[in-house]
Amino acid sequence: METLFAILIGMFFAAAVYLMLSKYSVRILLGVALLGNAVNLLLFTAGRLTREVPPIIPAGVDALPSGTANPLPQALILTAIVISFSFFAFLLVLTYRAYQELGTDDTDEMRVAEPRGEDRPPMGY
């Protein structure tokens, strides 16, 4: 099972990297979103895969029965999902604004902050 997940995570990463290598900001954004999901799966697998026994302590017992899923990776993933979700929302707004303001989604053409042909520092006066 872990092997299968490792292959799946690898495919996720490959797709994410491929998309992020694009010069169009929308594709980069999609790549970042995929990357977040790849990492979540990775965290999930890192906590060892078990059959579906939820980590809930039954009434009258003090500790988890054996064979339950590890709750910590789930907590980590939940945090990571929340964070990547809010980042994705922010980046979405930012990309949209960048497209409106700069008139392009091609990152090669986004040269407002670093214009071509800037002055060299003077050599003497």
Partner 1 sequence: MATPTNLSAAFTLTPPPLADWLVILPVALMIGLGAVLMMVRKSVRLHGAIAIAGLAALVLIDAGLLWRVATHGPVTMVMGRWLPPFGIAFTADLFGAAMALAAAVVALAAAIFALRDIDASGRRYGFYPFLMLLMAGVSGAFLTGDIFNLYVWFEVLLISSFGLLILGSQPEQIDGALKYAVLNLIATTLFLIAVGYLYAIFGTLNMADIARKAVALRDTGPLTTLTGLFILAFAMKAAAFPVNFWLPASYHTPRIVVSALFGGLLTKVGIYALMRVTVMLFPVEREALSIVIVVIAILTMMVGALGALAQSDIRKLIGYLVIAGIGNMLSGVAIGTPGAVSGAILYALHSMVTMTALYLVAGEIGRLGGGWSLVHLGGLFRRAPSFAGVSFVLFLAAAGLPPISGLWPKVVLLKASLDIGAWWLAAAILVSAFLITLALARVVLFAYWRPSPREIEPMTAAADWRIALPLAALTALTIFFGLFPETLLGLSQDAATGLADPTAYIRSVFPQGEGQ
Partner 2 sequence: MNTLILRTVAPFVTALMLLFSIFVLLRGHNEPGGGFIGGLIAASALALYGIAFGVGAVRRAIRFHPMAIAGAGLFLATLSGFISILAGVPFMTGLWVYPHVFGVEVPLATVMSFDLGVYLVVVGAITSIALALEQEPGPDLERED
- Could you say whether residue 57 binds partner 2 (CB under 8 A)? no
Angle at 102 between CA 101 and CA 105, to 5 degrees: 115
Count the alpha carbons within 13 Å of 53 in the hemisphere toward its beta carbon.
13
Taking CB within 5 to 8 Å according to partner kind, which of partner 1, partner 2, none is near residue 62? partner 1
Whichever of 45 and 68 has its CB closer to partner 1, that residue is 45
Whichever of 1 and 78 has its CB closer to partner 2, that residue is 78
Alpha-carbon span 80 to 73, nearest angstrom? 10
Is 9 in contact with 45 (CB distance < 8 Å)? yes
> Which tokens go with 5?
């997940």
Closest contact distance (angstroms) between CB of 74 and partner 1 is 12
CB atoms near residue 35 (< 10 Å): 18
Question: Within its chain, how far is the Cα of 78 from the centroid?
Answer: 13
Site string for partner 2, 72-111 (x = CB under 8 A): ----------x---x--xx-xx--xx--x-----------
DSSP 1-13: -HHHHHHHHHHHH
* Binding residues vs partner 1 (CB under 8 A): 20, 25, 28-29, 32, 35-36, 39, 42-43, 45-47, 62, 72-73, 76, 79-80, 83-84, 86-87, 90-91, 94-95, 97-98, 101-102, 107, 110-114, 118-122, 125
Name the site residues for partner 2 (rule: CB under 8 A). 82, 86, 89-90, 92-93, 96-97, 100
